[in-house]
Amino acid sequence: MASAMLAIRDLTVNYGRSVQALRGVSLEVAPGTVTAVLGANGAGKTTLLRAISGTLGFHRGTVDGGTITYGDQQLSGLQPPAVVARGVVQVPEGRRIFGRLTVDENLRAGGLGAASRSGAAATRERILELFPVLAERHKQRAGLLSGGEQQMLAIGRALMAAPKVLLLDEPTLGLAPMMAERIGETIAAINEQGTSVLLIEQNAALALRLATNAYVLEVGSVALSGTSAELSASDEVRRRYLGVGETDEGGPLHREDRPKLTRWAG
């Protein structure tokens, strides 16, 4: 199946009666692109990924409105293995690898839910090429890897399911800048090989460099969206997410020339 569009429309998610984590969120991941989601702590970024991957129920959350579709397939309401089988795979938050298992065993576990297991050996080879350090340490217990290497393994394990869309939740969190950069390069390589990526990232500069389009979530709603170039040029994004002060020469374009961003009310 050729890559399709992942589309979220008017998504509303609650945790019990008291927490409305997402309110009418709409966004799209166009085929073959990296799409980034930025936002402060608590904005709802992780909740969005949980809703897509079908794991919301593990956290006592519920989808109470809207749709999640991949191509012509409805994802909302599916159990996590069914979402994986349709080609949409999440790298879990906090790089949850199996610490007592070896690198190889972790990778094999990632292939269990794949839609097709026929290409598993070739997929494993491709992953080990992407992450040479995993090839070097394939017999080692995963718990002995560094934080960055564990993140690579978590991504590698997700790739074993041969995703069409990869969902990444803060892959560079807590990593040294050089390691974060390496992870960024790997995400670009994965994308170049044909996998679409929905990237949640606190490192907005890195995310906007990798992504074609980006969305900013604020308290459960999409506040801004546009191409990465448009968002990178926005005073608000520069001030709040890129840590750049607003000056006359600060932006790449004069104010009147700056591209228009789509801004949602409420």
Tell me which residues touch ligand ATP (CB under 6 A).
Answer: 15, 19, 21, 39, 41-47, 59-60
Closest separation between CB of residue 26 and ligand ATP, Å? 17
Residue closer to ligand ATP (CB basis): 96 or 255: 96
Residue closer to ligand ATP (CB basis): 39 or 110: 39
Residue closer to ligand ATP (CB basis): 16 or 266: 16
Closest separation between CB of residue 37 and ligand ATP, Å? 8
Find, among 165, 183, 201, 171, the residue nearest to 43 by Cα: 201
Residue closer to ligand ATP (CB basis): 46 or 123: 46
Residue closer to ligand ATP (CB basis): 140 or 202: 202
Q: State the Cα–Cα distance between residues 54 and 22, nearest whole angstrom.
A: 15
Q: State the Cα–Cα distance between residues 12 and 124, nearest whole angstrom.
A: 37
Closest separation between CB of residue 151 and ligand ATP, Å? 16
Residue closer to ligand ATP (CB basis): 90 or 106: 90
Task: List 199's β-bridge partners, or say none.
Answer: 36, 168
Closest separation between CB of residue 40 and ligand ATP, Å? 7
Closest separation between CB of residue 45 and ligand ATP, Å? 4
Q: In the numeric block, which tokens belong to residue 193? A: 């090989």
Closest separation between CB of residue 201 and ligand ATP, Å? 10
